[in-house]
Amino acid sequence: MGKHLVLVGGGHAHMVTLANLDKFVEKNHKVTVIGPSPYHYYSGMGPGMLGKTYKPDDIRFATRHLVEKKGGTFVHGKAARVDPEEKIVFLDSGDTIPYDVVSFNAGSQVPLSTVKGDVGDIYTVKPIEKLMEAQARILELASQKKITVSIVGGGPSSAEISGNVMQLTKGCGENKPLIRILAGQKFMSRFPDDIRQKVTASLTRRGVEIVENGYVSEITAGKITLESGTAYDTDFIFMAPGVKPSPIFKASGLPIGPDGGLLVNTYLQSVKYPNMFGGGDCIYFEDQPLDKVGVYAVRQNPVLFHNLMASLDDAELMPFDPGGDYLLIFNLGDGTGVLRKNWLVFGGRLAFMIKDYIDRKFIKKFQAYEK
């Protein structure tokens, strides 16, 4: 008799498993996928969708359709916690789903601790669907008056969002918004100076203001206040202060890393519960901290697929090797980017063309499974 595999989230780290769901079903295993949306949006192309380089259909997988086509069950919902002893996933709807093996690719969330009260036009950079709403709202506001768009956070998300808002509003004429990044003490602080300089030069040359004189202490309606007391008026806010793993694991009393992510061993397996796995932004890899970048989720794909099948079949697990340095490309809007690989760093249109080619190839590979 087969067992029950539950996938929490249909993100990047589960894509190979989703594409091969029929192989689990052929072995009489039952597969249930829990997702907050019938679609999964590829975050690497999200800023490009905001800037209208891509349409929503260009950057998403039809998760529900694929799961059902492959013989699995899709549950539209969100996991709230898990009972690892009873082997049950609890949904925020109150429903419960039992499992024999469970894998989490539940993504990450943007903290909103500095937001006080009803702020109004404030949007997080995740989930990616929020960027579609933000796009429409920015264009609506800019059609009425000249607005200020503020981006809270000093990392790559802020860089990509600001550049693509600039691209989005190119046709707004005199109402082209002022775009301001509130970057804390240092913009792109975790990157080498050559990358910082290229990204900063690209954005400031096009009119983006980068503020590096302190962290945000409070956000209220129409105003962002720094710890120093300096305040900035604003009409629209993107929250991009970094991401934190899903709160599921802490709420469930599971072993977690310092960031709150599910603590996993070299097999992407919970250090305490051998029938629990995970990948992507929601895990903390015990062997070494991993950057919150999509490349690791992509590299985890075949390992998770193998280990989930092996766990159901009582076979040998495969270790995950994070690999060496990875290709990093930022989409800065206007068809430009900045690329870094090992010692090589360059910016401009070629950088974006390379990113665009890689991203389109990736998305089309998995979209092909829908047909």
Determine the Cα–Cα distance for residues 97 and 99; give it in Å rounded to an integer: 7
* Per-residue pLDDT, 70: 95
Backbone angles phi, psi at 273, to 5 degrees: -115, 105
Instruction: Verify that 197 and 299 share a domain, yes or no.
Output: no
* Per-residue pLDDT, 11: 85
Instruction: Verify that 234 and 130 share a domain, yes or no.
Output: yes
Instruction: Verify that 283 and 322 share a domain, yes or no.
Output: yes
Instruction: Verify that 134 and 229 share a domain, yes or no.
Output: yes
Instruction: Verify that 208 and 189 share a domain, yes or no.
Output: yes
Instruction: Verify that 89 and 104 share a domain, yes or no.
Output: yes
CA dihedral 266, 304, 60, 131 (to 10 degrees): -30
Instruction: Give domain status of residue 52, yes or no.
Output: no
Number of domains in the chain: 2
As a whole number, the mean pLDDT across the chain is 94
Instruction: Verify that 221 and 140 share a domain, yes or no.
Output: yes
C-alpha Rg value of the chain to the nearest Å: 21
List C-alpha distances in Å: 147 to 117, 157, 180, 223, 329. Answer: 21, 21, 11, 13, 29
Stretch among 53-62, 137-146, 286-295, 344-353 having the lowest mean pLDDT: 286-295
Instruction: Give domain status of residue 247, yes or no.
Output: yes
Indicate the residue among 181, 211, 242 that finishes a domain. Answer: 242
* Per-residue pLDDT, 258: 93
Instruction: Verify that 11 and 84 share a domain, yes or no.
Output: yes
Instruction: Verify that 247 and 298 share a domain, yes or no.
Output: yes
Instruction: Give domain status of residue 264, yes or no.
Output: yes
Residue 67 burial (10 A CB sphere; 0-12, 13-18, 19+): buried
The CA-CA-CA angle for residues 290, 296, 302, to 5°, reads: 135
Determine the Cα–Cα distance for residues 139 and 207; give it in Å rounded to an integer: 18
Residue 261 is given by DSSP the state P
Determine the Cα–Cα distance for residues 283 and 256; give it in Å rounded to an integer: 8
Q: What is the pTM of this model?
A: 0.92
Instruction: Give domain status of residue 59, yes or no.
Output: no
- Give pLDDT tens digits for 83-117: 999 999 999 999 999 999 999 998 777 777 788 87
Percent of the chain with pLDDT over 70: 100
Instruction: Give domain status of residue 58, yes or no.
Output: no
Indicate the residue among 212, 242, 272 that finishes a domain. Answer: 242
**What stretch of H or E contains 284?**
strand 283-285
* Per-residue pLDDT, 7: 98
Strands (E), 56-208: 60-61, 73-76, 79-83, 88-91, 96-98, 101-104, 108-109, 122-124, 148-152, 178-182
- Give pLDDT tens digits for 176-197: 999 999 999 999 998 999 999 9
C-beta separation of 90 from 51 below 8 A:
no
Strand partners, 277: 103, 269
Determine the Cα–Cα distance for residues 67 and 21; give it in Å rounded to an integer: 7
Instruction: Verify that 301 and 221 share a domain, yes or no.
Output: no
Instruction: Verify that 102 and 130 share a domain, yes or no.
Output: no
* Per-residue pLDDT, 47: 97
Whether 370 has a pLDDT exceeding 90, the answer reads no
Instruction: Give domain status of residue 367, yes or no.
Output: no
At 129, which CATH number? Answer: 3.50.50.60
Mean per-residue pLDDT, 232-243? 90
* Per-residue pLDDT, 368: 86
312 C-beta neighbours (distance < 10 Å), count: 19
Percent of the chain with pLDDT over 90: 83
Instruction: Give domain status of residue 102, yes or no.
Output: yes
Instruction: Verify that 170 and 224 share a domain, yes or no.
Output: yes
Query: Which residue range(s) make up the domain with 138?
Result: 122-242
Instruction: Give domain status of residue 62, yes or no.
Output: no
